[in-house]
Structure 1
Amino acid sequence: MPDASAPLRRLGFLTIGLFDPANPAAGHETTLEIIELGERLGFDSAWLRHRHLQFGISSPVAVMAAATQRTSRIELGTAVTPLGAENPFRLAEDLATVDVLSGGRINPGFSTGTPMHFDDYKDALYPPPGGWEQQDLGYDRLLRLRSFLRGDPVSDFSGREGIEEYSERVEPHSPGLADRLWYGAASLRSARWAGENGFRLLTSSVIANENGTADFASNQSAQITEYRTLHPAGPDARVSQGLVVIPTDSATPSQRRRYQDYVDSRSARVGVPQGPRGLLFAPDLIGTSAEIAERLHDDPGYRQVDEVAFALPFSFEPDDYGQLLTDIAGALAPALGWSRSA
């Protein structure tokens, strides 16, 4: 497990990939350009949010497939894909195909349970009769997906039929992909399950309030500790933290004003449990890279990780993302001990 003095080992970023519904191609192209920029700047990974019925990335697998053909080194992940809206069998085929195309650079992250706003479109996804009530939307859905990716048999038939050859497992098979699956946990229960079942852990800027303090960092630290206690790899189990950081080192005055307005518009929710689950939101970290690094070194959650996927704010402009990524890779990450990989 990293300690307070441990250097940041792996640097990633997370984007939602917004687009104009009147011109979705331009937004998707911008997302691909951001990933290309991330690779040039030396980022170790780029992660895509997964959104349904919104003007953000609805098919991260397709976007990752395109990104594999425009990059050569950066790892590509999802944070996270809600499995309740997916067919694990078909998703396994798609993920393995993209992993093969990428040369083994895919890091899929998932959540289970009912996706956001599921009641609004569940009948379109799983029509009645039968419908969504017959679906297992819990943890077992992810275990099935991992089984498919491992190459466990899914068919009673394999061999030749006429001139066609059939396999008993999902094809293509991409060795190692099943060991690169992440779980996005927001609660102690999910963190425990991810640890017990050997998944990597994604912990984000939204988690459940479970220790009664309404303090985000201490709750997140407790979840990471619990996860590693139960994971077969123990203290070496991989955890990636995803906070919103907004370094202003090279920002223009107008950018700084807009960034501060964005942070101010979201600050009232910090430290106040939200909704029936009492969700806690991490504060957005804005300032110079030196100031943000100091705050992170004081954060109990950050002190337990040595890899991050810093989240880019949802509604900024492409030039803003370029400035943020440049400052993160050029100033913030080095202040955290990270060095660009060869």
Structure 2
Amino acid sequence: MATKIGFLSFGHWMDAPGSRVVTGQDALLQAIDMSVGAEEVGIDGAYFRVHHFARQHSAPFPLLAAIAARTKRIEIGTGVIDMRYENPLYMAEEAAVTDLISDGRLQLGVSRGSPEPALAGYQSFGYVPEDGDHAEMARHKTLVFLRAIQGAGVANPDPRQAVSPEPLALEPQSEGLRERIWWGAGSRKTAVWAAERGMNLMSSTLLTEDTGVPFSELQAEQIQQYRDAWEVAGHHWTPRVSVSRSIIPLVDDESRRYFGIRAQAEARDQVGQTEPGELARFGRSYIGEIDTLIEELQEDAAVQAADTLLVTVPNALGVDFNVRMLEAISKEIRPALG
């Protein structure tokens, strides 16, 4: 069962009735305040989804560094950065700097990314995959990034200035960061790929495959295949595994007003397509009274198999609402789950 609980925010902002996050500045400043509040009520991690061309969080490192400067204990991370958009060497510098500011609290989730508003938006950023294989481009960039944060030489020295002929590594380096990189796997196959390359596993409420079994069982199978592959690979350290869940405890009139009517409708998996020809299974939401949520989460095979649970938050409802929800999860649900 999960020993750590974090929140995962998409950072939505909208000028709409009921929204308490109207602008991009609101989304960023409230993300910092929510992280401070989450730390105070015992939550272990503040994670942020990265999207481009959308009114959501996009550039994670300034935000994570700001949170690091305002907090002391809470992990800070992403879930996930779309590597198709990234310069892996510049990202390696940003990651190391952010990790040093946080004193080693960075937990960085990366992946191929997910469907987005832009058509091949990464090409607008200047990245065009060979043979059109954008997934392979993301994986290649990830491997370059991993080598860079391990201190590998990535540039030839200028002989007029060099004191050594050895290739130059990026600076600064942050010790231990390599073991805090996660791969957001959308299938059993990509989970095995992550294990073979020594990355922690981050699995969300969506799998881009469907075998007919409930989502939690399919995700638990993914986790087991990942751990089996890790053992075969023979890495020298123990990896972490996170799963994401939408969990809304109904603890007051406001939470019941917003979510009470949705509890039954969202209490089942959904099967659909994220892209043409790509069948996917979406996990259910957990909305209800505390005792009911405890019983349901105890029966979730993947929650029981993971060591980290990321709770997706409705950030548009503001800091106070979300911190109250997180406090109930931390202080009332977590102890009952072990």
TM-score (norm 1): 0.85
Tell me the number of residue pairs that the alignment of Structure 1 and Structure 2 aligns.
Answer: 321
- Give the 3-state SS of the residue equivalent to 1:256 in structure 2: helix
Query: Match of 2:157?
Result: 157
> Is 1:16 the counterpart of 2:15 in the alignment?
no
> Is 1:238 the counterpart of 2:232 in the alignment?
no
> Is 1:216 the counterpart of 2:218 in the alignment?
no
Instruction: Return the alpha-carbon distance in structure 1 between the equivalents of residues 3 and 78 of structure 2.
Output: 20
The Cα shift of 1:192 comes to 0.8
The Cα shift of 1:314 comes to 5.5
Distance 1:58 1:264, change over 3 A: farther
Distance 1:159 1:243, change over 3 A: farther
Query: Match of 1:226?
Result: 225
- Give the 3-state SS of the residue equivalent to 1:293 in structure 2: helix
- Give the 3-state SS of the residue equivalent to 2:330 in structure 1: helix
Query: Match of 1:290?
Result: 291
Instruction: Return the alpha-carbon distance in structure 1 between the equivalents of residues 304 and 113 of structure 2.
Output: 29
Distance 1:198 1:132, change over 3 A: closer
Native 8 Å contact 1:98 1:106 kept in 2? yes
Sequence identity (%): 27
Native 8 Å contact 1:209 1:273 kept in 2? no
Native 8 Å contact 1:158 1:167 kept in 2? no
The Cα shift of 1:271 comes to 3.5
Write the letter of the residue equivalent to 2:243: Q
> Is 1:106 the counterpart of 2:100 in the alignment?
no
Distance 1:208 1:108, change over 3 A: same
Distance 1:289 1:125, change over 3 A: same
Write the letter of the residue equivalent to 1:240: S
Query: Match of 2:324?
Result: 323
The Cα shift of 1:288 comes to 2.1
Native 8 Å contact 1:229 1:235 kept in 2? no
Query: Match of 1:304?
Result: 305
Native 8 Å contact 2:84 2:122 kept in 1? no
Instruction: Return the alpha-carbon distance in structure 2 between the equivalents of residues 281 and 224 of structure 1.
Output: 16
For residues 1-342 of structure 1, the aligned pairs below 5 Å read 8-20=2-14, 23-112=23-112, 116-119=116-119, 121-126=121-126, 131-133=128-130, 137-157=137-157, 161=161, 168-210=168-210, 212-231=211-230, 232=234, 236-249=238-251, 251-252=252-253, 254-263=254-263, 270-275=269-274, 276-313=277-314, 315-337=316-338
Instruction: Return the alpha-carbon distance in structure 2 between the equivalents of residues 264 and 315 of structure 1.
Output: 22
Native 8 Å contact 2:33 2:319 kept in 1? no
Instruction: Return the alpha-carbon distance in structure 2 between the equivalents of residues 189 and 314 of structure 1.
Output: 32
The Cα shift of 1:273 comes to 3.4
Write the letter of the residue equivalent to 2:323: G
Write the letter of the residue equivalent to 1:294: E
Distance 1:12 1:114, change over 3 A: closer
- Cα deviation 1:115-146 (Å, max 9, x = unaligned): 6345253442127xxx4448752422211100
Native 8 Å contact 1:113 1:139 kept in 2? no
Query: Match of 2:18?
Result: none
Query: Match of 1:340?
Result: none
The Cα shift of 1:114 comes to 7.2
Native 8 Å contact 2:8 2:311 kept in 1? yes
- Cα deviation 1:172-200 (Å, max 9, x = unaligned): 11111111100111101101101111110
Distance 1:262 1:151, change over 3 A: farther
Distance 1:108 1:115, change over 3 A: farther
Write the letter of the residue equivalent to 1:14: L
TM-score (norm 2): 0.86
Q: Identify which range, 287-296 or 238-247, moves more after superposition.
A: 287-296
Native 8 Å contact 1:48 1:78 kept in 2? yes
Instruction: Return the alpha-carbon distance in structure 2 between the equivalents of residues 188 and 81 of structure 1.
Output: 20
Compute the RMSD of aligned alpha carbons: 2.7
- Cα deviation 1:50-82 (Å, max 9, x = unaligned): 111111111111100111110111110100000
- Give the 3-state SS of the residue equivalent to 1:310 in structure 2: strand
The Cα shift of 1:241 comes to 1.2
Q: Identify which range, 310-319 or 284-293, moves more after superposition.
A: 310-319
- Cα deviation 1:24-74 (Å, max 9, x = unaligned): 222211110000001111211111111111111111111001111101111
Native 8 Å contact 1:20 1:27 kept in 2? no
- Give the 3-state SS of the residue equivalent to 2:149 in structure 1: helix
Distance 1:44 1:89, change over 3 A: same
Native 8 Å contact 1:112 1:142 kept in 2? no
Q: Identify which range, 104-113 or 21-30, moves more after superposition.
A: 21-30
- Cα deviation 1:143-165 (Å, max 9, x = unaligned): 11000000000122179949xxx
Instruction: Return the alpha-carbon distance in structure 2 between the equivalents of residues 31 and 313 of structure 1.
Output: 12
